[in-house]
Structure 1
């Protein structure tokens, strides 16, 4: 019997050695909570499995006992703690608190985000430390290490933006009460990790590498890190490297972005895969968006199992031009019952539902789009705007605008190109464009925090809700502070 490490959701003591007394005992546990430490890390297959384990923690589990990093809480928090989403999920006070900015250190959603990120970081640390000692194909070894470093850098990028000063764990075994690193120290590690991933493959053989990190993903994520750090020059340079690679392009019609046939397609820079293995793994809670219909109102379109827990603010919905293609693709605003009666409803998010491929609407096998090519274009526009390169800023934001007026057949007389904007007007235009382009993709709180616009924009969408300066970071979970006295608190 092998010995395993159980990864507990605690930054202060992430590694606890366990000895499984029987195979039955092991199988009753969620297998994602274990990484073998004996009779393992011997060959290339073991190295590949170690890196695959990091990817596994990004999505949801088959049993539902443990959510993955991007299963729900992460993007739900980023939407609710902004001007993007409202919470309609009953008996969910933690989510209500995020939406009204009354959350504190006891918030369970934030604890889950913290725990799942550090679990995945720990698995990445083990892979990065163990793989160099394996006798195996050198090219594969370097690729796997690059993937692990990309994933660790990406995970720390989430965490430093959300929580600020946190433990910087980079070794397989860390002190029980690790010290806290400054944001500058954490960003230095993130940049080093992402640079270490820039030699990843440009792509993988068809069907063999869907969802794996690529060179383009590393460069695009690095550009976003530089953008967040207001290093406009490097943000522009890295974004342009992705653009000039000619490995990515926009789908001509926004509706094509979220079709199942587009998974890992030309616009996907980095996505997290869900919904495979015969449906055993559920999609990243698409049901949290779609509208729940009562049994007496069963839709001819078959969405009776969808939930509609988190919904767009009316401010977001009303910000779209009426003929913006993204508006009709993104939102569900009516349903047709089995008698053919059309009933208007408040807007719900529907863009992840590929009706042709999954007509029942009882979930989706779609991916979570962590980085799309349209974001690379907008990042490049933003960097150039800050560098006073107005023509380039206009050119690249208008590429995204142009797609928004194409309805699949013709260009509509809507969503006109931006012209002659001042630098300040362009800042506002890019922020608005991001809001419309990335609805429900987990970006909005990060965008408002990065641009210091929480206090001004949230009250416009949620009257009476007024964030303050402390909300540019989330509170560090109290459970973690009880376990690690070195952890600070972010003004809560």
Structure 2
């Protein structure tokens, strides 16, 4: 990396770590308002700012250069390139390509994912390399480095699953034309980073760390890495470690998971917060799904908006038992017209909209969930089935199903506990459970890719759309290959 590029990165750290609107309240350790580049990485405040800047790259709500990693393209792509979503956004034809598996190396959404992730990785690399040299409280210094490692490991985990062999950049100064690393090399680094991050605190003092990486987050992410690699023993071990921390639990009612009062609560293992930027989630809930549009009379709850962008497939909606609490909490199928009448519409996603807390707004202050406790339970069930531990497999998948039976008052006579399934039947059952549990949480493409189900399940939900073997990886963006001849395009593109 040239010195001029490094200087620009440091300036971005200063801007994001000290003045990012969406991170200032979310991460409460606020450094000074201005630090010259030449004096940066000298003080404890500089170290805090450097790590806060990585978080800020995750949740920035600005467009273009400053757009956050998880603002929209990442999770929208994971939903469209699966049996979860169809696209109706006329302004972004590249999302049509994603939904129909006709995308190629020039797809803008994929380029955006690549750019955002490597920007955040670069800032993490700088923090990891520079913070150890700062004279400061050694406990805080170690914690900050491990937070940066957690975030770097998480980001590389996204990238290796999506793109395969990519550059593995670990230093603040890297060659202008880096070579690619194999997936094994990248996974080894991810495991090392997340293993180090297991030394993070289990929690933070109230009001002083919501949204920061923790010991539980590192263990849970490691479990998902091992699940993806098919290392089921290791996955089960890590899941059990998370469970045994006794730090997390399911909300009794699925509808409570996405209430604003639940942000950072007992089911949230790691989330990215957009909510402190005055309803920034509008860009990826109301803004992407547009299930609401304010009429002139703000007393009206909402009216139909024909511009709903990413919409659930009918097959997804129909896959639920009609009384499954998750269907009611996840989708909106009726709207209140200005004349007071109620109209039935096709399903839209509404799960991030807390109507009671924000009845009149067209945005939401909710968080984007990277890892919830139900994910750990379902990973543990899946891994336990693979290693022959059927007792735990049934116990933990049935915990999730039991919660889905609860309608807010009673447990309904639906979704009976699973039992006596073959190993293959259990695999299908847990994959279905994950589909219904994690709608619009950026999970579905990854689940279908790691279980090799793209070709079989996508055409059922999207007749005429038939993924191919090549779609188990996305293409390396063409612009990156044009700039760096060391990159090799994935097969089929």
TM-score by length of 2: 0.92
1:94-133 equivalent positions in 2, closer than 5 A: 94-133=94-133
Tell me the residue number matched to 1:7.
none
How many residues matched? 473
Q: Deviations over 1:265-297 (max 9, x none)?
A: 0000000011215x1855552121232559699
Q: Judge conservation of contact 1:305–1:361 (CA < 8 Å) in 2.
A: no
Tell me the residue number matched to 2:164.
164
CA 1:189–1:83: 2 relative to 1, 3 Å:
same
> 1:38 aligns to what SS in structure 2?
helix
The unaligned stretches of length 5 or more in structure 2 are 21-33
Tell me the residue number matched to 1:8.
none
Q: In the alignment, is residue 262 of structure 1 matched against residue 293 of structure 2?
A: no
CA 1:19–1:336: 2 relative to 1, 3 Å:
closer
CA 1:306–1:152: 2 relative to 1, 3 Å:
farther
Tell me the residue number matched to 2:285.
286
CA 1:459–1:281: 2 relative to 1, 3 Å:
closer
Q: Judge conservation of contact 1:274–1:282 (CA < 8 Å) in 2.
A: yes
CA 1:342–1:484: 2 relative to 1, 3 Å:
same
- Rounded to whole Å, the distance in 1 between the matches of 2:401 and 2:105 is 40
Q: How much does 1:450 deviate? A: 0.3
Larger deviation, residues 481-490 vs 35-44: 35-44
> CA RMSD for the aligned pairs?
2.4
Q: In the alignment, is residue 373 of structure 1 matched against residue 373 of structure 2?
A: yes
> 2:48 aligns to what SS in structure 1?
helix
Q: In the alignment, is residue 16 of structure 1 matched against residue 20 of structure 2?
A: no
Q: Deviations over 1:367-409 (max 9, x none)?
A: 0001000000000001100001112111100000000000111
- Rounded to whole Å, the distance in 1 between the matches of 2:168 and 2:72 is 24
Q: Judge conservation of contact 2:294–2:303 (CA < 8 Å) in 1.
A: no
CA 1:478–1:359: 2 relative to 1, 3 Å:
same
Tell me the residue number matched to 1:9.
none
Tell me the residue number matched to 1:6.
none
Q: How much does 1:302 deviate? A: 3.1
Tell me the residue number matched to 1:464.
464
Q: How much does 1:361 deviate? A: 3.7
- Rounded to whole Å, the distance in 2 between the matches of 1:183 and 1:200 is 26
- Rounded to whole Å, the distance in 1 between the matches of 2:40 and 2:295 is 52
Tell me the residue number matched to 1:190.
190
- Rounded to whole Å, the distance in 1 between the matches of 2:36 and 2:352 is 36
Larger deviation, residues 317-326 vs 297-306: 297-306
Q: How much does 1:249 deviate? A: 0.1
CA 1:158–1:197: 2 relative to 1, 3 Å:
same
- Rounded to whole Å, the distance in 2 between the matches of 1:13 and 1:268 is 39
Tell me the residue number matched to 1:322.
322
Q: Judge conservation of contact 1:299–1:335 (CA < 8 Å) in 2.
A: no
Q: Deviations over 1:11-42 (max 9, x none)?
A: x879615589xx9xx99xx977x996420111
Q: How much does 1:359 deviate? A: 0.7
Q: Judge conservation of contact 2:298–2:360 (CA < 8 Å) in 1.
A: no
- Rounded to whole Å, the distance in 2 between the matches of 1:307 and 1:382 is 38
Q: How much does 1:341 deviate? A: 1.1
Larger deviation, residues 131-140 vs 286-295: 286-295
Tell me the residue number matched to 2:53.
53
> 1:143 aligns to what SS in structure 2?
helix
Larger deviation, residues 348-357 vs 414-423: 414-423
Q: Deviations over 1:134-187 (max 9, x none)?
A: 000000001001100000000000000000000000000100000100000000
> 1:179 aligns to what SS in structure 2?
coil
- Rounded to whole Å, the distance in 2 between the matches of 1:403 and 1:259 is 16
> 1:69 aligns to what SS in structure 2?
coil
The unaligned stretches of length 5 or more in structure 1 are 1-11
Q: How much does 1:65 deviate? A: 5.8
TM-score by length of 1: 0.92
Q: Judge conservation of contact 2:79–2:443 (CA < 8 Å) in 1.
A: yes
Tell me the residue number matched to 1:93.
93
Q: How much does 1:58 deviate? A: 0.2
Q: Judge conservation of contact 2:235–2:379 (CA < 8 Å) in 1.
A: yes
Q: Judge conservation of contact 1:62–1:282 (CA < 8 Å) in 2.
A: no
Larger deviation, residues 134-143 vs 301-310: 301-310
Tell me the residue number matched to 2:43.
43
Q: In the alignment, is residue 238 of structure 1 matched against residue 238 of structure 2?
A: yes
Q: How much does 1:60 deviate? A: 2.4
Tell me the residue number matched to 1:455.
455
1:423-442 equivalent positions in 2, closer than 5 A: 423-442=423-442
